[in-house]
Amino acid sequence: MQAGSQDRRVELTRALRDAGVTALLAFGLFLPLIGFETQQNIRNELILTTRLPLLFTIVAIVGVGRLVYSLALDPWLKQRTMRPPQATPSAWRAPVAKWFIPFSIGFVIAYPIIVVAIKGLGGAVKWVDNFGIQILIYVMLGWGLNIVVGLAGLLDLGYVAFYAVGAYSYALLAKTFGFSFWILLPLAGLLSSFWGILLGFPVLRLRGDYLAIVTLAFGEIIRIVLINWVDLTNGYAGISGIPRPTFFGISFNANDDGFAAVFGLEFSPIYRTIFLYYLILALAFLTAFVTVRLRRLPVGRAWEALREDEIACRSLGINTTNTKLTAFAMGAMFAGFAGSFFAARQGFVSPESFTFLESATILSIVVLGGMGSQIGVAIAAIVMIGGTEIMRELDFLKQIFGSAFDPTQYRMLLFGFAMVLIMIWKPRGLISSRDPSVFLKERKSISSDLVKEGHG
């Protein structure tokens, strides 16, 4: 009893000391950038103002957070790992796993209808557009990059280049020649995959981080060319007035031959939004379907073999050059599809949309989701993109923190932070187990602990 209370006192002093040190560290960290603010005054000179209350609030939060961690969270986590793992998975797991995919597919198909039913025709546009279409574009890009990174193990940080090629080829060809969306969609995919092969050739010998950096360089080069080749791309100003896709020749406008008039409906922008939603949904499903089928073809098996061990792959007689190039081409093709969809949806493209940040976002979605796992990638896209989109909707926070508080500013801040946290929590991504495409007797998912990743 006596020893117990003494132990607790030692523990408490240690926790307090840790909290103090952490708070002190936080003070040092945040002192320059939060404690002081640089502002331009009227004469355009920089002046300093202090923000000490904010600084001390943050320091106090960090200190208390550390105290809570070492007193409550840490012992709880330790206790949890000490407990023997449950031998049998709980009873609800199997049915959930079985029904999860059909239910999700049903949900995404019904999503616009549900939103319209809840929000009405006018209010639903934002929800279908910002959450539905926006997330689905990233799901599709994630699935496309998943072929390159997840299946073939080629780390690509310049994926946005192919997205840009798709978007600009749709924008330019549609504006110059007036081709329709349905002709240009495959064409954009083709052009992108051509660029995929073109950029894939020089980097065949590279792998891992080096490959990532070179692809990053390629992505940036393409963006700089888009900015500076003003004759073709109109530079920073971008290309506007890109023709929108039509519903079998019926355009979505308020005219007499528009979609609403033809079908005897009242005009509303929601019809176009819902059409675009189903379009990107179909494209995303196409990506997923093709990937699933490709995994069962020799080329897909070669990709996965390449990911696990390139040397073994080569010694077994697999042509690694072709394998890598097909992976680049395939991934780039889907980026091209997504790009032309993006251009058609926005009606406007500019180099601003194809920065390195986009590539990093797509790659992080693939890695956070668990490389190779399609469901994982979709979940990661929903969490990361939906999470940052939802920051736009948090207007009630203004009532708490004052009207100067703008939650949208913090979107990318939290995005970066979440990337670090998820990596620390689950370094192999949310769904790390592997789903074999060949098996004896029964399909079992393979735990990530058993997978030895090659150099990639």
Under the binding rule (CB under 8 A), the answer on residue 405 touching other proteins is no
Under the binding rule (CB under 8 A), the answer on residue 371 touching other proteins is yes
b/e sequence 142-173, b meaning 16+ C-beta within 10 Å:
bbbbbbbbbbbbbbbbbbbbbbbbbbbbbbbb
Q: Which of 128, 165, 167, 216 binds other proteins (CB under 8 A)?
A: 216
Q: Which of 137, 155, 313, 378 binds other proteins (CB under 8 A)?
A: 155
For residue 46, the number of C-alpha atoms closer than 13 Å in the C-beta half-sphere is: 4
Pairing mode of beta strands 46-50, 239-240: unpaired
Under the binding rule (CB under 8 A), the answer on residue 218 touching other proteins is yes
Q: Contact at 8 Å (CB) between 179 and 153?
A: no
Q: Which of 2, 3, 5, 38 binds other proteins (CB under 8 A)?
A: 38
What are the backbone dihedrals phi and psi of residue 298, each rounded to the nearest 5 degrees, phi first? -55, -40
Question: Which residue type occupies 379?
Answer: I
In the bound state with other proteins, the residue whose beta carbon lies nearer, of 121 and 225, is 225
Under the binding rule (CB under 8 A), the answer on residue 413 touching other proteins is yes
Binding mask 283-322 for other proteins (x = CB under 8 A): ----------------------------x-----------
In the bound state with other proteins, the residue whose beta carbon lies nearer, of 94 and 311, is 311
Euclidean distance between CA atoms 353 and 361, whole angstroms: 12
Q: Which of 2, 3, 5, 45 binds other proteins (CB under 8 A)?
A: 45
By CB under 8 A, the count of residues binding other proteins is 63
Euclidean distance between CA atoms 119 and 109, whole angstroms: 17
Touching other proteins, residues 425-454 (CB under 8 A): 427-428, 448, 453
Residue 16: count other Cβ atoms within 10 Å of its Cβ.
15
Tokens of 66: 């550390």
Under the binding rule (CB under 8 A), the answer on residue 220 touching other proteins is yes
Which residues, in sequence order, are CB contacts of 273 under 8 Å at separation 6+? 112, 124, 125, 128, 129, 133
Q: Contact at 8 Å (CB) between 187 and 169?
A: yes
Q: Which residue has the tokens 């979940």?
A: 379
In the bound state with other proteins, the residue whose beta carbon lies nearer, of 79 and 315, is 315
Segment interacting with other proteins, rule: CB under 8 A, options 2-10, 28-36, 75-83, 338-346? 28-36
Under the binding rule (CB under 8 A), the answer on residue 107 touching other proteins is no
Under the binding rule (CB under 8 A), the answer on residue 273 touching other proteins is no
Euclidean distance between CA atoms 269 and 176, whole angstroms: 26
Residues of the shown chain interacting with other proteins in the complex, contacts defined by CB under 8 A = 25, 28-29, 31-34, 36-40, 45-48, 155, 202-203, 205-206, 208-210, 212-214, 216-218, 220-221, 224-225, 227-228, 311, 356-357, 360, 363-364, 367-368, 371, 409-410, 412-413, 415-420, 423-424, 427-428, 448, 453, 455-456
